[in-house]
Chain A
Amino acid sequence: MSAFSLAVRDSNTMLRRNLLHARRYPSLTLNLLLTPIMLLLLFVYIFGDVMSAGIGGGGADRSDYIAYIVPGILLMTIGGTVVGTAVSVSNDMTEGIIARFRTMAIHRGSVLVGHVVGSVLQSVMSVVLVGAVAVAIGFRSTDATVLEWLAAFGLLVLFAMALTWIAVGMGLISPNAEAASNNALPMILLPLFSSAFIPIDTMPGWFQPIAEYQPFTPAIETLRGLLLGTGIGNNGWLTIAWSLGLTVLGYFWSTSKFNQDPK
């Protein structure tokens, strides 16, 4: 068997192992889904009237605000899912079975690839579930073409992959599940500091750079542009650059950590 097909076969085996874990113990995944759904309902139904007053020059109503925050909520869903990835990677590394994998003639990276692909699939499923809730409470896209839907889907997958590789690295450096969940906290906090809930130009001046120069804001703006027809500007390229950059960084970080001698 060629090295490549060996790598694919082993990664596929590891992926099935991780999906089996996720299916057998769905509570972690489901818990992580609760946060974005709760925030969506909270912001729309509880804060909605006040929040909507702040966008679109004051004339916006609740349905405008739903449209405004859904892209951010979807990306936040990915951020939440990858916290679960960090936790499960960290848990997995304490299991004896990982030591066994290391002493077997299998493709070395397959353990991590299995985690990443599994986590991206979970992210996509979570986004679909949260998206369904959004549609149920009245979210509609504005004249998005099939191509734009596909681009939106591609963006979510790319972004999920980038965050997942970083989360895998965070899981690998964490000695236990608690530490992993703490280390991965930025994945949940960053979308709160982005343009997910309010436009950046309504934020205090000193805070605007924090909101602007981070991966979530361009991704949210791009998703908004694709689904709602707002201006994308250079956010599309920024999103791709952030995603690829984080993927490469996370990949090299994670694999070098994984290849180190275990304690």
Chain B
Amino acid sequence: MPSSVMPMSNSGDGQKPPAAVSAVGLRKSYGDKLVLDGIDLRIPAGTVFALLGPNGAGKTTAVKILSTLITADGGQAQVGGHDLAADPQAVRAAIGVTGQFSAVDGLITGEENMLLMADLHHLSKQEGRRVAAELLERFDLVEAAKKPASTYSGGMKRRLDIAMTLVGNPRIIFLDEPTTGLDPRSRHNMWGIIRELVSDGVTVFLTTQYLDEADELADRIAVLNDGKIAAEGTADELKRLIPGGHVRLRFSDPDVYQAAAVALREVTRDDEALALQILCDGSQRELRVILDWLDAAEIEADELTVHTPDLDDVFFALTGGNNVPNQSKETVR
């Protein structure tokens, strides 16, 4: 049976647990554009790994390479104990992939999609029916099972997508931005689904643009920026890199802005946006201190916003100042 593809016992005491996914120096470019510039990864079996990064950072490309969809220009990778380049078919037997854009057949019904997967995993007719019915039930798709998948909502499509991925009982699952475009309720449902997978001992490789999502789900997080891993660690380790939140003051009058910038001194300036940033953890006490300070200096900003740490800040910390003015402008609008 194909389920015995991977030797994944965790019994090797004292030794490092076996890696479900490992990669060294993965590179990929499209034409002149370098998308992945030497990525190293090591994901222990049975853990959740999150690749975090903004749009265009190369997250999807990394997933496409590791899931055998495209070939890397350079570097090496093993998935489920098999070399990507030497034995892609064995890798495919070990993995399940749910892409960013739903990989369902919209022309046929949800149930037919499930049975199609059962056939492609060479389950017997009876077994296929059983697995399909079970998963449709588990993902709350029984009512919609007889409707064409193209009529499903975003959340339903994503659930069907994952249900299809699970038909083959894969030990390693790639989830490319599983919650992008979902409403908050569907997003939380998806988190529940992912946690369930992990409790079954499956290794999960997920990509996301949201820090809170990685924080919520992942054992380890790697931050991908411009095709390079900018940092890797647990959520706590990464958060220590974040300088914390800040208060942002925006001015409409350049003269007032200049005066404020000179008077306050310990601030980060954004001359283009006429905005100043003051470090602040967002607590009431610190906020009062800052307000008192502003009053004392007789500074009156046109707009004051409290900014809690988020992905922008991670990038601020990890990638230097270059990104910040752009990112900050985004948040003001």
Q: Residue A100 contacts which of B71, B99, B106, B107 (CB distance < 8 angstroms)?
A: B99
Is A25 positioned at the interface, with any CB of B under 8 Å from its CB?
yes
Tell me the bound Cα distance from A261 to B29 in angstroms.
Answer: 13
Chain B residues positioned under 8 Å from A21 (CB to CB): 107-108
Known A-B contacts A105-B89, A105-B93; the reply to A96 vs B168 at CB < 8 A is no
Tell me the bound Cα distance from A97 to B114 in angstroms.
Answer: 12
Chain B residues positioned under 8 Å from A104 (CB to CB): 92, 120-121, 168
Tell me the bound Cα distance from A10 to B122 in angstroms.
Answer: 8
Task: Tell me if B107 and A99 are in contact (CB < 8 A).
Answer: no
Is B76 positioned at the interface, with any CB of A under 8 Å from its CB?
no
Is A13 positioned at the interface, with any CB of B under 8 Å from its CB?
yes
Task: Tell me if A261 and B122 are in contact (CB < 8 A).
Answer: no
Chain B residues positioned under 8 Å from A101 (CB to CB): 120
Task: Tell me if B95 and A103 are in contact (CB < 8 A).
Answer: yes
A106's nearest neighbour on chain B, judged by CB, is B120
Tell me the bound Cα distance from A95 to B168 in angstroms.
Answer: 21
Is A102 positioned at the interface, with any CB of B under 8 Å from its CB?
yes
Task: Tell me if B70 and A17 are in contact (CB < 8 A).
Answer: no
Is B219 positioned at the interface, with any CB of A under 8 Å from its CB?
no
Task: Tell me if A102 and B93 are in contact (CB < 8 A).
Answer: no
Chain B residues positioned under 8 Å from A58 (CB to CB): none
Task: Tell me if B101 and A103 are in contact (CB < 8 A).
Answer: no
Is B2 positioned at the interface, with any CB of A under 8 Å from its CB?
yes
Is B119 positioned at the interface, with any CB of A under 8 Å from its CB?
yes
Q: Residue B99 contacts which of A16, A96, A105 (CB distance < 8 angstroms)?
A: A96
Q: Which of the four size classes fits the interface of chain B?
A: 20 to 34
Is B105 positioned at the interface, with any CB of A under 8 Å from its CB?
yes
Within 8 A of B (CB), among A90-131: 95-97, 99-106
Tell me the bound Cα distance from A104 to B89 in angstroms.
Answer: 8
Task: Tell me if A17 and B108 are in contact (CB < 8 A).
Answer: yes
Within 8 A of A (CB), among B92-137: 92-93, 95, 97, 99, 101-108, 112-113, 116, 119-122
Q: Residue A13 contacts which of B95, B99, B106, B120 (CB distance < 8 angstroms)?
A: B120
Chain A residues positioned under 8 Å from B107 (CB to CB): 20-21, 24-25
B107's nearest neighbour on chain A, judged by CB, is A21
Residue from B67, B70, B120 having most chain A Cβ neighbours under 10 A: B120
Tell me the bound Cα distance from A99 to B99 in angstroms.
Answer: 8
Q: Residue B103 contacts which of A20, A96, A106, A261 (CB distance < 8 angstroms)?
A: A96
Is A262 positioned at the interface, with any CB of B under 8 Å from its CB?
yes
A22's nearest neighbour on chain B, judged by CB, is B107
Is B142 positioned at the interface, with any CB of A under 8 Å from its CB?
no
Is A257 positioned at the interface, with any CB of B under 8 Å from its CB?
no
Tell me the bound Cα distance from A9 to B106 in angstroms.
Answer: 23
B96's nearest neighbour on chain A, judged by CB, is A103
A10 to chain B, nearest CB (A): 6
Tell me the bound Cα distance from A224 to B239 in angstroms.
Answer: 79
Is A146 positioned at the interface, with any CB of B under 8 Å from its CB?
no
Tell me the bound Cα distance from A116 to B108 in angstroms.
Answer: 19
Tell me the bound Cα distance from A202 to B225 in angstroms.
Answer: 70
Is A38 positioned at the interface, with any CB of B under 8 Å from its CB?
no
Is B22 positioned at the interface, with any CB of A under 8 Å from its CB?
no
Chain B residues positioned under 8 Å from A99 (CB to CB): 69, 97, 99, 103
Is B145 positioned at the interface, with any CB of A under 8 Å from its CB?
no
A123 to chain B, nearest CB (A): 21
Chain B residues positioned under 8 Å from A13 (CB to CB): 116, 119-120
Is A147 positioned at the interface, with any CB of B under 8 Å from its CB?
no
10 contacts between A and B (CB under 8 A): A1-B122, A6-B122, A24-B107, A97-B103, A97-B104, A97-B105, A99-B97, A103-B97, A105-B89, A105-B93
Q: What 4 A-B pairs are tightest by C-beta distance, nearest first?
A: A100-B103, A96-B103, A105-B93, A105-B92
- Using a CB–CB cutoff of 8 Å, the interface residues on chain A facing chain B are 1, 6, 9-10, 13, 16-17, 20-21, 24-25, 95-97, 99-106, 261-262
- Using a CB–CB cutoff of 8 Å, the interface residues on chain B facing chain A are 2, 67-71, 89-90, 92-93, 95, 97, 99, 101-108, 112-113, 116, 119-122, 148, 164, 168
- Beyond contacts A95-B106, A104-B92: 18 other A-B pairs, Cβ-Cβ < 8 A, are A9-B122, A13-B116, A13-B119, A17-B105, A17-B108, A20-B107, A24-B107, A96-B102, A97-B104, A99-B99, A100-B97, A100-B103, A101-B120, A102-B69, A104-B121, A105-B2, A105-B93, A262-B69
